[in-house]
Each structure stands twice: as structure tokens, then as C-alpha cells.
Structure 1
């Protein structure tokens, strides 16, 4: 009989404990979707046959569970020629890597410079597709080629920015001495 009363007393205790708990609204529980990894001062180098092809630097990299990355403090990418010499630079105030599309995106003050052809590009957003080795944007762009400025909306180019197609050209003009990007 004593066992039965202990059992009954324990059951009453458990029922009273559960009734004192606050119920949790499952819909209010939020899943964490922030960065799973943070790296500071990243420096990635890609080479082929001991010749540098690509150099990526960023002060901070945030990596997410889906493989996407964010470069909140900016990103700088250098593209090298076949002989290993530096050919083109790309920099942006903020950057992203979209893993599912294998696509880099630069936003803010975006600048691309082809050092060999002495030409530069300025825009607010650009995409770099490493598989296709091309850069493109549908935003307003300013291209300086030697002493001429071209303005337009939209651009497609190879990743070295040595050949490009400027869409919807708005105007062009010759630079005055001391003027330029």
C-alpha cells in the first residue's frame, strides 16, 4: 500500500510541475540564420603551374550555413595575366559570394582597373562569374578609356576587363587635362 501511495504522490507532483510551466509558442522560436564562421584578414591565392592567377583579400569574411559568404568591410580581387604579371584589379566596398550560383557580387563604390590597357570602370554593383571568367552589371557605369569617358547602363566584359560591351550608352566625352577617375 505504501508503494501505491508513493506512486500516487509522485504522479500528483509531476502533474503539478507541468501545469506550472509556461507554454512555449513554437512559432515564436526563431532559427538562427546568421554567420556560422568569421575570418579576419583573409588572403586567398589561386595559382596554376606555380604562376599566380588570382588574389583575393578582405578584412573580414562571414560564412553562412548554406555556403554563402559576405565581405562586409570590402573585397579586393587581382587578376593576373598568363605570364604572371598583374593585369586587372577589382575592389568593392562590400562583397558577397553566392555559393549556389558560384557568383561574386560587389556593391558600393565598385572600381575595376585594367592596368595594361589603362582603362577603368566605376559602378555601384558588379558580378563576377569565375566559371565563365566574366564580369557584368545592369547598373549605371562610367568607363574611362585613356582620355575618353563613356557613361551607360549595363556592361559585360571578360574578367580582365580587356574587352567589354557597354549597353545603353548615354554619352561620351574627352577628358580635360587633370580630370579623370
Structure 2
């Protein structure tokens, strides 16, 4: 009887020894997950200054990443407010990304900026919004429609509410008046 217990113990030890083979891997060599650590649906973010809402950002989906970046894969709608009450301009795009360490937003895909007071509209495919400097800019093709004309060109610098802007290289001006 004691001999059979000894044989069973030897068999178990042999089984354990073979199962602990070269299965150990260096965790630093393993591929790490690079996707979002958090997803939030129906996001509403308010940016204020002196307790007055200055910017209202909405998105159907927000993805937060380990490095602090935030991605809006399903689009982004931004409203710029004056005195925390009245919307002066809007920015809409199919995709958005915020680089947290630079406080810089990149928006892409059917980007439209409306200045509601001046009734002017900017259309482009890619635009940067520097929230800290309250500026928007791009090096891509732009089309600006005003009540009197259509302006086209490459590159643009403007304040974030799109009340003042400068096209870097104008390629066309078309009058809408008869």
C-alpha cells in the first residue's frame, strides 16, 4: 500500500514538471492592448470661463485612451457661446480627436463651421481647433460661403467662432449677387 501511494506521488510530480515547461513568457514582450479603456455614449461636455459656459461639445460616442487622448469616432458637434447664453457659431464633423497634452482637437470628414451672426459657412475636410488659443486652422482646401460670395482656397486661420478669418492661398472668388 505505501508503495502505491509513492508511485502516485511520483506520477503527479512528473505531470506537474511537464506542465510547467516553456510556458512562461516575458510580459514586456507581449503585445499590449491599445484600444480605449473607456467608452461613453451620448456625451455632453461644457467648457466654462468664470462660471459662464463658453463651449458646448456633444458626441454620440467618446473613447478615452491611456495617454489622455479622446476620440469621437461617430462625429462631434461643438457650439461656441457668447456670454454663456447665445450660440454664435457651430462646428460639426464626422470624426474628432482631442490630444489632451496639447489641448488640440482634430476634426475630419465633412467639417462645417457656421458663424450664425454673419451667416457665413466654412466647409473643409480637416480642421484643427486649438482650444487654449481659441483658434481654428487648416492647410486643406476650404470653401467659405457668405451672403454675397463664395471664396475658395487652401489653408485658413480663424478665431474659434469664425468671426474673423484669413485664407492663406485664395483660388477663387464668386459673387452671388446678380
Shorter chain as denominator, the TM-score bin is: 0.7 to 0.9
1: CA distance between counterparts of 2:100 and 2:158? 22
Contact 2:54–2:84 (CA under 8 A) maintained in structure 1: no
1:27-38 equivalences under 5 Å are 29-38=30-39
Residue 18 (structure 1) aligns with: 20
Residue 67 (structure 2) aligns with: 66
- Could you tell me how far 1:30 is from its partner in structure 2? 1.4
1: CA distance between counterparts of 2:27 and 2:66? 22
Three-state SS of the structure 1 residue aligned to 2:20 is helix
- Could you tell me how far 1:154 is from its partner in structure 2? 0.3
Q: How many residues align?
A: 172
Residue 99 (structure 2) aligns with: 98
2: CA distance between counterparts of 1:52 and 1:27? 45
1:156 aligns with 2:157: yes
Contact 2:79–2:91 (CA under 8 A) maintained in structure 1: yes
2: CA distance between counterparts of 1:26 and 1:35? 20
Contact 2:59–2:74 (CA under 8 A) maintained in structure 1: yes
Gaps of 5+ in 1: none
Three-state SS of the structure 1 residue aligned to 2:101 is helix
- Could you tell me how far 1:71 is from its partner in structure 2? 0.5
**Cα separation, partners in 2 of 1:50 and 1:25, compared to 1, 3 Å:** closer
Three-state SS of the structure 2 residue aligned to 1:15 is helix
2: CA distance between counterparts of 1:48 and 1:31? 39
When normalised by structure 1's length, the TM-score is 0.84
- Could you tell me how far 1:25 is from its partner in structure 2? 8.5
1: CA distance between counterparts of 2:49 and 2:168? 34
Three-state SS of the structure 2 residue aligned to 1:162 is coil
Gaps of 5+ in 2: none
- Could you tell me how far 1:15 is from its partner in structure 2? 3.4
Residue 169 (structure 2) aligns with: 168
**Root-mean-square deviation (CA), in Å?**
2.6
1:131-146 equivalences under 5 Å are 131-146=132-147
**Cα separation, partners in 2 of 1:167 and 1:23, compared to 1, 3 Å:** same
2: CA distance between counterparts of 1:17 and 1:84? 68
Residue 109 (structure 1) aligns with: 110
When normalised by structure 2's length, the TM-score is 0.85
